[in-house]
Every structure is written in structure tokens, then in C-alpha cells.
Amino acid sequence: MSILSQEQKAIQQAAKEFVAKVIIPNAAKFDKSGEFPMLLLEASKPSNIFAMAVPKEFGGLNYDALTQALVLEEWGYGCAGMGTTLAASVLSMDSVLIAGTDEQKRRYFKPMLNAEIGSFGLTEPGAGSDAAAGTATAVKKGDEYILNGTKCWITNGGFATVYVIFANTDPAAGVKGISAFIVERGLPGFTIGTTDHKLGIRASNTVELLLKDVHVPATNLLGKEGEGMKIAMKTLDMARPAIAALSVGIAQRALDTCVAHVHARFPGKPFPGQTLQFKLADMQILVEAARETLHQAMQLRDAGVPYSKESAICKTFCSDVAMQVSATAVSLMGSYGYTSELGKYMRDSKIMQIYEGTNQIQRLVISRAVLAHAPAASAAQKAGK
Ligand SMILES: Cc1cc2nc3c(=O)[nH]c(=O)nc-3n(C[C@H](O)[C@H](O)[C@H](O)COP(=O)(O)OP(=O)(O)OC[C@H]3O[C@@H](n4cnc5c(N)ncnc54)[C@H](O)[C@@H]3O)c2cc1C
């Protein structure tokens, strides 16, 4: 088990209390309606939690990576849809943390101090896993860039105040022409398209963003022209563990729900049959291993050690665990499971394996890292024996 500081334990406890008071009582309602829970933002104001990743000098809470993961696990436990709202806002802030100037940070982070949210627009209809295939453009004219293009499946897009948007400033250069911009809500030509109907995380908002001749000040360019893909990849490295944290929360909730059911259905007795007991044990093993994998990656990040491989591993493992544990919990509870809130945990788990880079893509990343550190060939292998 990770050893948490007193401060981390206090923050974790505060998150549990917020989730019990605000998130859990509202989760089923917003899952059913698919509406965005504005009340979540209002209720978050006193704690300033939407500024948890904002550095102290910009007025934020400045939580380290492990502490952010503790909060997100609790939000995932309560409702992975509402947790996604917080995670996606932090995702967009990560780009600004990576590449923003102090002035850009001050402007971008200001709304978060008022429980407003940010959004990260990379994906396009023809560019998901292959983000480099994006066709959105940004043409420089004087001291502005003019952005055109369509972004799709963008979390928080309909309710964000600020956005990080990727567009190509030099299409002939391909991926090396992609640049990142801060775009503010309300600019002429920047509109919200279709809102997506979703299988899970239905309390989160997922939309199309339409950019038609949107004039963005040149001072909103993040980093230099052509650095967009590098910024996007670094951002996703930083942000993927947030998905792992939500996943651990879902898995823990599914397990707790299943255990509560066992107690109610077989009072005073263990689950009938060793096979079922062993399944419960396996679920517990998976949840604990997932949490440890996540915390290890966060401790590396907090120590300033490279953690790209560990980021991919924890996102993949924890989301696979959420899917497996929630599905097993449904099976163990039989028809009670199939007709209970466990269905939401299964539905919410699926997207964890897809967004912020699918688990197939993560496996490519992990295998490349493994192959790059392959042990030197033995003399016999070199001799072809
Ligand atoms: C609810 C939701 C929220 C989202 N939020 C955001 C957001 O806030 N910002 C944003 O920019 N995007 C967001 N996305 C987009 C999401 O990150 C992409 O959908 C995801 O990266 C996968 O892209 P794709 O859907 O185009 O799948 P595709 O790239 O079409 O992939 C389809 C399948 O092929 C596999 N595949 C593709 N290429 C390879 C390969 N080279 N090797 C092996 N397998 C491969 C994939 O793993 C997948 O199984 C969101 C999506 C959803 C559904």
C-alpha cells in the first residue's frame, strides 16, 4: 500500500465527503438524462477543486500528481461521468502547464479558480488514434491566426470557458506543422456542434467543436509553431493516469456493491461455492494491484523521473481492471446485478479503455519501450546458435 501523508489523507477524506454529499446522490439522475450537471461546478466552488492542478503562484491548490489521483479515484467511485469532467479540465490545463508562458497560464487558469472548466480539442473525424492526420488549419495573418476545422468527441466542449485546440500552421510539413492554441469561448465563428449520445459517462459533456474563420490572437500560440504534436503527446502522458484513477474508483465501487449484495443475500454466511469466493478474491487482488500501479506512476512523476511507459501501463491496466471487475460483479450478482446500478459501472468502464489513446495504442507504446530496453544478445544468439 502507498504510504500517504497526513495532508493527502485529509484531501482524500474531503473528496470522499464531497462525493458522498454531491456526486453519489445525483449520479443516477444525470446518467439517465445525459444532461450536464451544472450543480457540480457550483458545489465545487468552496473547495476550489477544479483548480487542484493549478500552481500556487496562479492561485491554485497545487496538488501533486498522487494527490490528484486520490481525488479522481473518489470522483470515479461516485460517478465516472462527473469524474471525467474534472479529469478533462485538468487534461487541457496540462498542455498549458507544459508549454504556456506565465501570462498564458495566468489567463488560462483564472476560470478554474471560479470552478469553470477547460477542454482539450485534438481528435477530428478522420484523426483519432492517428492524431497526426488532423486537417484543422491555422493561418497566420498579422498578429492573429485564423482557425478552421472540426473537432469531435470533445469532453466539456459545450460548457468550457477556455480550450486548447490543435491546428496545422504548415500543412505541407504534416505532423511537424501541427500547433497548439488557447481558444476562448465566444469568439466569432467558434461554435458547438452535435452533442454525442453515449453508452456511459453520460453526465459528462461530449461535443463537436466547429471552427470557421476563428480569429485567435497570435499571443495564444502555445510554445512555437510546429510543436503541437509534441505538446499533445506530453499532455497525454501527464493526463492518462487520471483515467487510471477514475477506473480504480469504478472497480472499487463495483466490488463494494457486490460485497454489500453478498451480505444482504446470504446473511451471516460466505458466498456459496468456492468458485464465487475466489472470484471475489480475484477482484480484490485486481483492484489493489491497479491502485498500486497507478500510485507508482504518480510517485515517479512527482519525483521528476520519466514515467511515459508507466503512464501507459497504468491507464491500460486500470481501465482493463475496471471493465473486468464491473463485469464480474454483474455476473456474481446474477439478475440483481443485471438490473442494478452495476450496469452503469460496466458502461462507464468501456470508455476508459478507449479515450486518451485506446488500450491497443497504449500496448504499442509499452511494447516499443520494452523493445528499446531489450537485454543485450548473448554470444550464442549473436552467433546465430
Ligand atoms: C466520450 C469520449 C470523450 C472523448 N474526449 C476527448 C477529448 O476531450 N479530446 C479529444 O481530443 N478527444 C476525445 N475523445 C476522442 C478519443 O480520444 C478517440 O476517440 C480515441 O483516441 C480513439 O480514436 P478513434 O475513435 O478515432 O478510433 P480509431 O483510431 O479509428 O481506432 C479504431 C480501432 O482501431 C485501433 N487502432 C487504430 N490504430 C491502430 C494501430 N496503429 N495499431 C493498433 N490498433 C489500432 C484502435 O485501438 C481502435 O480499437 C473522446 C472520445 C469519446 C468517445
DSSP bridge partners of 184: 162
Distance 236 CA to ligand 1 centre (A): 13
Rg (CA), the chain: 22
% of the chain residues with pLDDT over 70:
98
Residues contacting 333, CB < 8 A, separation 6+: 257, 258, 261, 340, 342
Residue carrying the nine cell digits 465501487: 253
Distance 132 CA to ligand 1 centre (A): 12
Question: Measured between alpha carbons, how far is residue 205 from residues 39, 196, 199 in Å?
Answer: 14, 8, 13
Residue 356 annotated to the active site: yes
Beta strands in the chain (DSSP E): 118-121, 137-141, 144-155, 162-168, 178-184, 190-195, 206-217, 221-222
Decide if pLDDT at 205 tops 70: yes
> Grid coordinates standing for 125?
473525424
> Grid coordinates standing for 18?
464531497
Residues flanking ligand 1, CB < 6 Å? 88, 120-123, 128-129, 153-155, 198, 206, 351, 354-358, 360-361, 364
Instruction: Give 63-122 pLDDT, tens digit per residue.
Output: 999 999 999 999 999 999 999 999 999 999 999 999 999 999 999 999 999 999 999 999
DSSP state of 200: S
Distance 131 CA to ligand 1 centre (A): 9
The residue among 236, 195, 226 whose CA lies nearest residue 355 is 236
Q: Among 355, 361, 362, which residue has the most ligand 1 atoms within 8 Å of its CB, making it the best to mutate?
A: 355
- Please give the Cα distance from 301 to 306 (Å, whole number): 7
Stronger pLDDT, 272 or 169, i.e. the higher one: 169
Decide if pLDDT at 371 tops 70: yes
Residues contacting 187, CB < 8 A, separation 6+: 214, 215, 216
Burial class (CB in 10 A: 0-12, 13-18, 19+), 202: buried
For 85-94, 317-326, 355-364, 368-377, which range has the lowest pLDDT when averaged over its residues? 368-377
Q: Give the atom of ligand 1 at the shortest distance from the alpha carbon of 201.
A: 1
Decide if pLDDT at 134 tops 90: yes
Closest C-alpha to ligand 1, atom 26: 128
Closest C-alpha to ligand 1, atom 4: 153
Distance 125 CA to ligand 1 centre (A): 10
Distance 196 CA to ligand 1 centre (A): 15
DSSP bridge partners of 192: 209
Q: Give the atom of ligand 1 at the shortest distance from the alpha carbon of 355.
A: 17
Question: Measured between alpha carbons, how far is residue 335 from residues 27, 275, 343 in Å?
Answer: 22, 18, 11
- Please give the Cα distance from 24 to 246 (Å, whole number): 14
Decide if pLDDT at 378 tops 70: no
Q: Are 203 and 79 in contact (CB under 8 A)?
A: yes
DSSP bridge partners of 121: 165
Q: Per-residue confidence at 242, pLDDT binned at 50, 70, 90?
A: very high
Mean pLDDT of 183-202: 97
| Domains of the chain with bracketed CATH | 6-114 (1.10.540.10), 118-229 (2.40.110.10), 236-372 (1.20.140.10)
Decide if pLDDT at 338 tops 80: yes
Instruction: Give 264-310 pLDDT, tens digit per residue.
Output: 988 887 677 788 889 999 999 999 999 999 999 999 999 999 999 99
- Please give the Cα distance from 288 to 292 (Å, whole number): 6
Q: Among 195, 207, 354, 359, which residue has the most ligand 1 atoms within 8 Å of its CB, making it the best to mutate?
A: 354
User: For position 257, what pLDDT does the model report?
Assistant: 96
Residue carrying the nine cell digits 440483481: 336
Q: Give the atom of ligand 1 at the shortest distance from the alpha carbon of 92.
A: 8
Closest C-alpha to ligand 1, atom 40: 361
Q: Per-residue confidence at 24, pLDDT binned at 50, 70, 90?
A: very high
> Grid coordinates standing for 334?
446474477
Mean pLDDT of 133-162: 98
- Please give the Cα distance from 190 to 142 (Å, whole number): 20
- Please give the Cα distance from 189 to 302 (Å, whole number): 40
- Please give the Cα distance from 320 to 360 (Å, whole number): 11
Distance 16 CA to ligand 1 centre (A): 31
Decide if pLDDT at 382 tops 80: no
Mean pLDDT of 174-187: 97
DSSP string, 1-60: -PPPPHHHHHHHHHHHHHIIIIIHHHHHHHHHH----HHHHHHHTTTTGGGTTS-GGGTS
User: For position 379, what pLDDT does the model report?
Assistant: 66
Q: What is the pTM of this model?
A: 0.96
**Cα angle at 125 between 320 and 118, to 5 degrees?**
70
Q: Are 168 and 177 in contact (CB under 8 A)?
A: yes
Closest C-alpha to ligand 1, atom 14: 153
- Please give the Cα distance from 238 to 304 (Å, whole number): 12
User: For position 265, what pLDDT does the model report?
Assistant: 87
User: For position 7, what pLDDT does the model report?
Assistant: 97
Average pLDDT, the chain: 95
User: For position 380, what pLDDT does the model report?
Assistant: 65
Q: Per-residue confidence at 385, pLDDT binned at 50, 70, 90?
A: low
Q: Among 153, 231, 356, which residue has the most ligand 1 atoms within 8 Å of its CB, making it the best to mutate?
A: 153
